[in-house]
Structure formats: C-alpha cells, structure tokens
Amino acid sequence: MAAATRQRALEAAVELLGAHGVRALTHARVDELAQLPPGSTSNWFRTRRALLAGVVDWIAERERVDFDPASLPVITGIDELVDGLCAMTDLQSGPFAARTRARYALFLELADDPELALPLRHQRHEFERWTEQLVAAVGIPDPVPATRAVMALADGLLLHRLTVDPGLDLRPAIDRTVRALAAGAPGAAAAPHRAAEPR
C-alpha cells in the first residue's frame, strides 16, 4: 500500500512537471492530482529537493524499462534503424509525452545541480551508447558524431512536435538524415532505398 502511494505521487509529479513546468511542482499539488490525503507526498519526500530527486530517479528508471535494448527488435539495416528511431520519437511525443516534457524541464532546472541531475544524465549517456552501437552495426561511418547528429535531430523534432506542431511528421527528416549519414559507407550507393511511407 505504501509503495503504491509513493508510485502514485511520483506519477502525478511527472504529470505536473510535463503539463505546467517545474514551478508547479509542490507537495500539495501532487497530493491533489494523485488524489492522496494531504501530507502524503511529504511523508515520502520531506523537501522539494527530495521530491525532485525522486522524480529524476523515477523517470530514469522508467526509461530504462521502456527502452531496454533486450526487449526491442533487432536492427540490422538502414530501413530498420529509421523505423526504430521513428517509433522511439513517436512514443516519446505520444504515450510518454508528459514524461518527455518533464525530462526536458528537469534538465533545464537542474543545470546548476549536476548531482541531482546525475540519474537523468547517466540514462541519457546509456541511450547514446546504445544508439551508437546501432549506428555502427548498420555500417554508418564515424558512429560517434553520427549518433550525436541523429540524437540532436530527434531532440529538435520532439521539442517542435511537443511545443509547436503536434501533427509534425517526423519520418521524412529522420529518414533523410540517416541516409545522408550512411552515404559514405562502403557499398551504400548499391543499398536499396525504401521510400518513406505516407503518414
């Protein structure tokens, strides 16, 4: 029961952050949104910093579970990499949109508190390392800078979809970028190119 209450509080805190930003995060508002008795959240997280730390840990853990490489399809070619990146960004801007907004808000809020932000940064580095392995596996040259370019593009597209254009089709930009990065790979000119499907 107590663990379930804590989980409800953290889920509500993420919803608050994603919808209203860091300034909206208070113990009382979390209790209200989670439909918990007043004081429940402060029983788990005595200070605002403790609450922020709890949210940071929760987001990092959920992303480890939801994007566990062992549970995702095997990627062996450019088409599959494009599909995978599109699916990932669709999830982050769809079912996980509140969490994505909360993560960006926390990165900005905690820029001067690297210790508190460490779990988020660690998870980001793990995701980058995994993406780099995929980029290298499909034969894209210079996988480290290529991965940074792909992830910077994905971040930009996510922000645009979450803030400016909810209907933005992410696939054309992702497809074009991945294929441009792959253009220098040996044999790339002979590789089949599947046209992007209309969305």
Read off the pLDDT of residues 65-112 as tens digits, 9 standing for 90 and up: 988 888 878 888 999 999 999 999 999 999 999 999 999 999 999 999
Exposed (0-12), middle (13-18) or buried (19+): which is 149, by Cβ within 10 Å? middle
Q: Work out the percent of the chain whose per-residue pLDDT is above 90.
A: 79
* CB distance 116 to 110 below 8 Å: yes
pLDDT value for 4: 85
Q: Which two tokens stand for residue 193?
A: 């190119």
| pLDDT tens-digit readout, 120-175 | 999 999 999 999 999 999 999 999 999 999 999 999 999 999 999 999 999 999 99
User: What secondary structure does DSSP assign to 17-67, as a single string?
Assistant: HHHH-GGG--HHHHHHHHT--TTHHHHH-SSHHHHHHHHHHHHHHHHHHHT
Residue 188 scores a pLDDT above 70: no
Residue 197 scores a pLDDT above 90: no
Q: Which of 7, 10, 13, 15 is nearest to 97 (CA)?
A: 15
Question: Whole-prediction pTM value?
Answer: 0.83
